Structure 1
Amino acid sequence: MGLRELAVRWADALDGVVAPTRTRNQIEGLLAELADVLLAAVRGTIDGKVAKDAAAVLVAANYRDPIALSRSVQVICWDMVREICPTGTESEYGAVRERAIVVAADFAAGFTSALRSAVLAEQETTLAAALSAAQEAEVRRQLSEARFEAVFAGASVGIGTIDATGRVLDVNAALAEMLGQPASVMPGRSVAEILGPANIGDAYAEFERLLNGGADRFRLETDHLRPDGTIASIDLSMSAVRDSGGRVHFLIGIAVDVTERKKLADRLWHDANHDSLTGLPNRVLFFDRLANATPPVGLCYLDLDGFKEVNDVWGHTVGDRVLRDVAQRLRESVEPAGGLVARIGGDEFIVLVERCTGADQLALISGLLLDALAAPIQLAGRAVVVGASIGTVFVLGRPTAIDELMHAADTAMYRNKSAGARSARGPRGRD
């Protein structure tokens, strides 16, 4: 394909996402430079964390829509992998694919961080402008009030002013929309009355500190329940404007709706901590949960028997469908019993049991896992059957030597596989 063609494909994927000030040739040149760095990361010749810097460059070029991130991740995980392994072996392709997923996760993290920094910088600029105009109103009322009104009415962020008794002086349209109430009904009412009991929390406590003189400003993120039942996530900054005697004259607040940003961050966290094929927790999330598990702790290490033959006979597309079906069966069989199922690679799965009662419970869960795989998997007229070998480990205390614990579970599983304690029934197809 070549670097230039890869840049063109990437530019085509981003076409229409924003209206950048650069020409098409400039965009392709920029993407070619980024693609060169990301390809090196996917090949494993440089640290994959350079993907974070590459994402920041993309945000700086005004690609801020979540679609730009989604399409860029697809370029990394598909186009760049095909560029590196057009005809590679399965093991080579798998290694490159795994590195591409890690690079894509770092790219997503860098994109989120850069996007958040850009939004917060814009918010700080707006807050500084609004505060400057509000303070100037005391000495140059006629001129500065006109300036403040222009900022107030036209700002895309929410702005509100509150008097020293806690009653609303004015709000702009953006803030009224965030709160889910008409701007016309808020002036003259107390903040407590407007927010309602469901929203009296940390933000309101900080607001009272401002009125009482206990603080000059605060900033926090808060979830606001609107009257229609929807929830807005708001990044709120408030400052006290004092008179010449140091008394609180009024408060001014700047609010930014970060609901979509939080949804994007949650989605990116989920994608980075879950297996893209099966939707199960991946190695990263599993080891985090294991390190913080409540003891006693039990593990069931499961390796599919006969899965390689499924891939060899019917190909990877069928193999992927089998893995998805297996993952669903395992989840449904053990989650009601308190187990967390994760895919840690290939055809290997593991179940974490917190507050495990001992070997009897692990034997019960192992039986549930094996029973879940007993029925054939029906795929386009074929009946595919896979079995499994399972090794279990039980520890009384909080896991500390994670590697040793995993090695013990892996060893137990292979011991059972070798002994043929519960071997696979072997894959078979029926048209």
Structure 2
Amino acid sequence: MLRQVIGGDRATPRSPAPAIENLVSAWAAALARPVYRPMSHVELHRFTRWAALRLAGAAAVRPVDTRCAHDVGAALVDTDLLDRDDLPATVSALTAHLPAVAAERGAPSPDVAARDVTAAVVAGYVARMRARILDEQETVRQAEVQARKQTQDALLSSEARFRAIFENSGIGIGIADMDGRIVDANEAFASMLGYTVEEFCRINVADFVYPDDAQGMWELYAEIIEGKREQARVEKRYRHRDGRMVWTDLTASLIRDAQGDPLYTVAMAEDATTRHELQDRLRHQALHDPLTGLPNRTMVNERLAELFSRPGGRIGVCYLDVDNFKIVNDRLGHGIGDKLLVAISARLHQCVAERGHLVGRMGGDEFVILVQDPPPGEVALVADLVLASLASPVDVDEHRLVVTASIGVVETDVDDTTPAEVLKAADVTLYWAKSDGRARWAQYDPERAALDMTRFTLTATLAAGLERDEFEVEYQPIVRLDDGAVAGVEALVRWDHPTLGRLGPDRFIEVAEETGAIVPLGRHVLREACRRAARWNAENPGADLFVSVNLAVRQAHDPALVSDVADILADTGLPPHLLQLELTESALLGPAGRPVDAIGALADLGIRIAVDDFGTGYSNLGYLPRLPLHSLKLAGVLVEGLRSPTAGASRIVTSLVALAHALGLTVTGEGVETPAQAARLRTAGCDTAQGWLYARPAPWDAVVAALGRTRPRR
């Protein structure tokens, strides 16, 4: 529009007079407020220059050219330039600057000319704006007439369209009055429930009220009848004419009369039976094991959550695992394994279902039985029934399989624990039953569980303890029985655990063997003991104090054992004959009962080899002549028998000492705590002894301080 207005007027003076420039600048500035404009600032300035020049020419002639000024005012409307607030700004700019422009152009009466031109601009603007408003009003009127005609046409056909939709809709639609009488219904709703439309309209809404309807459903309908609610949507079951149930998604709405009072209710029902049945099947699949049909882990957890939601209740859990089930899968195949699981599941369900307990499959060959509020002895009885039900062989295809199971039993108040803790406790107890021999059940024991947790903690922190140098070595003197002098010391490791305190080897050596940490731990103890003994013997020439260090089974079978011991002796400077390595029978002999090769290699280095805890278990005396041994250490259980003057115990010790001496071995009695034990060992010919009678294990400095004055305490 702007280009149409000013596009043809490009003949503007190259050097406009100052008065014109003042008018253009003032006018453009007045119109350039921060509102939306259909033109840029450049176009706005160009328009005001064009208009100013036209108005200057109109003011310069006599009489003034009001037609030209009138056209400029109309152009302001055609460009959509001004809003209602901009016309006063335009008049102000013209009033202030147009007289000077008229004077500059030689008008005889500049003020009068400027006034007449400004009035003509306003008149042109108002005339053009009025014409535009009238045009717009006419357009609106025509549109209103057209809309009214279309509305009338729509009203004429609305009833026919509604009836067509009502009758042909696939969704059931029914209309009832405030008394529940069905006044109209479509074929879809009637046939959904097995009726004709005429039959359906003789039924009252109250006839569809069932005792097992969802809670709160009819309260919502009552609120609609009372006008308190406009609409409600529920899942509603209807009884079909043939007796089966039809599930629907039902929406009930209220229709009011002209005064706003409730008039009718409209029910729209969509058949959801197929979807509901599918949801039931999917939920069953989600909560049941596909192989056995038993409740799965998810359903067991849901049931546990329900039981734990009742304050003051009790819960019993039997957690079952089939013994050696992996062998069935590995040797007979997973197909046979699956059939075996199905047979086991049937037996479990049969033996406890009549007692009202839930049996579920947790996965693999693990099952769980939940007992709600068990009476005294019920959980143990259930465990016995399960074991009895599995006692007879299971025939799977052509295989007759003998099945046993291990069961962990937990019984507790729900207020004292959580579902996760109960299942964890049952799982832990299950593995107690397995470790105790399988084919049995075990009862949860909090003290045993605490010990297991401590063992787990030790396993998890042992490697870090080695890195942090938390292990210390203590020493216990080994005393000659003939004169009471100290012949050597035994190195005993202790663990200063950061949370469990100071631990003896009985607490962590087995864990170290299982994890493999015994090898670096044993190397640490051996190096420390050899370093101490080497320094003391160097400071006390001729004393020949030997140090005895225990080797575990895993150490004895470590390929690097011999080289490690040789390197430590070389590094510390301890003579090989002053090192004694103590090994149990299981560490000395390999799997086939043959001597471990490393023992001969260590003896060849000049190291003393001693059999530790001799006399325990079923010692095989036949290996003694075949090994390069130097000493036997009588087990503490044998020395314990010497506390009282029992002839049998003394004769056994005397015989063992005589046997050892016949083989050229020395004998040490361990665990000596009383003078009577020491005297009887001395009488039996035992060479050395150690125990609390002489000294308790202590740090090296405390032990060497007592060397030379160690005598039995009377």
Common fold by TM > 0.5: yes
Is 1:328 equivalent to 2:346 in the alignment?
A: yes
Equivalence for 2:673: none
Is 1:381 equivalent to 2:395 in the alignment?
A: no
Equivalence for 2:372: 354
Equivalence for 1:319: 337
Equivalence for 2:180: 166
Determine which of 303, 319, 328 is the counterpart of 1:301.
319
Equivalence for 2:360: 342
Determine which of 381, 384, 393 is the counterpart of 2:410.
393
Equivalence for 1:285: 299
Equivalence for 2:208: 195
- Does the CA contact (< 8 Å) of 1:297 and 1:398 recur in 2? no
Q: Post-superposition shift, 1:206?
A: 3.5
**Could you tell me how far apart the structure 2 residues matched to 1:198 and 1:365 are?**
37
Q: Cα gap change, 1:191/1:407 in structure 2, threshold over 3 Å: closer, same or farther? A: closer
Determine which of 341, 345, 364 is the counterpart of 2:381.
364
- Does the CA contact (< 8 Å) of 2:234 and 2:249 recur in 1? yes
- Does the CA contact (< 8 Å) of 2:316 and 2:374 recur in 1? yes
- Does the CA contact (< 8 Å) of 2:323 and 2:439 recur in 1? no
Q: Post-superposition shift, 1:340?
A: 1.1
**Could you tell me how far apart the structure 2 residues matched to 1:141 and 1:162 are?**
24
1:44-55 alignment to 2 at 5 Å? Answer: none
Q: Deviations over 1:324-374 (max 9, x none)?
A: 11111111111212321111121111111111124x211110111111112
Equivalence for 1:251: 265
Higher Cα Rg: structure 1 or 2? 2
Q: Post-superposition shift, 1:398?
A: 4.0
Equivalence for 2:139: none
**Could you tell me how far apart the structure 2 residues matched to 1:338 and 1:273 are?**
18
Q: Deviations over 1:217-237 (max 9, x none)?
A: 111111112232111112111
Query: Number of residue pairs matched?
Result: 286
| Matched position secondary structure for 1:337 | coil
| Matched position secondary structure for 1:351 | strand
The one-letter amino acid paired with 1:404 is: E
- Does the CA contact (< 8 Å) of 2:174 and 2:267 recur in 1? yes
Q: Deviations over 1:297-318 (max 9, x none)?
A: 1111111012111111210001
Q: Cα gap change, 1:190/1:357 in structure 2, threshold over 3 Å: closer, same or farther? A: closer
- Does the CA contact (< 8 Å) of 1:152 and 1:159 recur in 2? yes
**Could you tell me how far apart the structure 1 residues matched to 2:164 and 2:197 are?**
17
Under a length normalisation based on structure 1, what TM-score does the superposition of the two structures give?
Answer: 0.61
Under a length normalisation based on structure 2, what TM-score does the superposition of the two structures give?
Answer: 0.38
The one-letter amino acid paired with 1:231 is: M
Determine which of 130, 133, 144 is the counterpart of 2:158.
144
Superposition CA RMSD, Å: 2.6
Q: Cα gap change, 1:183/1:306 in structure 2, threshold over 3 Å: closer, same or farther? A: same
Is 1:238 equivalent to 2:252 in the alignment?
A: yes
**Could you tell me how far apart the structure 2 residues matched to 1:402 and 1:188 are?**
54
**Could you tell me how far apart the structure 2 residues matched to 1:391 and 1:197 are?**
46
Q: Post-superposition shift, 1:142?
A: 4.5
Q: Post-superposition shift, 1:319?
A: 0.4
The one-letter amino acid paired with 2:284 is: H
**Could you tell me how far apart the structure 2 residues matched to 1:388 and 1:244 are?**
77
Q: Post-superposition shift, 1:291?
A: 2.3
- Does the CA contact (< 8 Å) of 2:213 and 2:237 recur in 1? no
| Matched position secondary structure for 1:252 | strand
Determine which of 241, 256, 280 is the counterpart of 1:266.
280
**Could you tell me how far apart the structure 2 residues matched to 1:197 and 1:268 are?**
26
Equivalence for 1:185: 199
- Does the CA contact (< 8 Å) of 1:391 and 1:413 recur in 2? yes
Q: Cα gap change, 1:307/1:227 in structure 2, threshold over 3 Å: closer, same or farther? A: same
The one-letter amino acid paired with 2:235 is: E
Percent identity over paired residues: 38
Q: Post-superposition shift, 1:181?
A: 2.1
Equivalence for 1:95: none
Consecutive unaligned residues in structure 2, runs of 5 or more? 1-150, 442-714
Q: Deviations over 1:61-96 (max 9, x none)?
A: xxxxxxxxxxxxxxxxxxxxxxxxxxxxxxxxxxxx
Determine which of 216, 224, 229 is the counterpart of 1:215.
229
Q: Cα gap change, 1:352/1:188 in structure 2, threshold over 3 Å: closer, same or farther? A: closer
**Could you tell me how far apart the structure 1 residues matched to 2:382 and 2:430 are?**
14
1:16-95 alignment to 2 at 5 Å? Answer: none
